[in-house]
Amino acid sequence: MDFNVGQVIQLKKPHPCGCKEWEILRTGMDFRLKCRGCAHQVMVPRKLVEKNFKKFVDETAQDKK
């Protein structure tokens, strides 16, 4: 799977704030993700992100709402 900085992804399980969408701030062996709901940042191993990845979020569709 090819992840890039700035992409927004949806994970299978929600963050405690209730949001499932995360912005990628850093890639590599570890990812730095920022929650789109509460702006909390976490470092997560790549393997865990790939396992829990659900889909890429289309930001253009959200802007039209």
Give 35-64 pLDDT, tens digit per residue: 999 999 999 999 999 999 999 998 655 544
User: 61 vs 8, which has greater pLDDT?
Assistant: 8
Give a yes or no: residue 12 inside a domain.
Answer: yes
Question: Residue 23 in contact with residue 39, Cβ under 8 Å?
Answer: no
Give a yes or no: residue 64 inside a domain.
Answer: no
Give a yes or no: residue 48 inside a domain.
Answer: yes
pLDDT given at position 32: 98
Give a yes or no: residue 1 inside a domain.
Answer: no
Give a yes or no: residue 3 inside a domain.
Answer: no
Its domain, for residue 13, covers: 8-57
Give a yes or no: residue 65 inside a domain.
Answer: no
* Counted domains in the chain: 1
Distance of CA 43 to the CA centre of its chain: 11
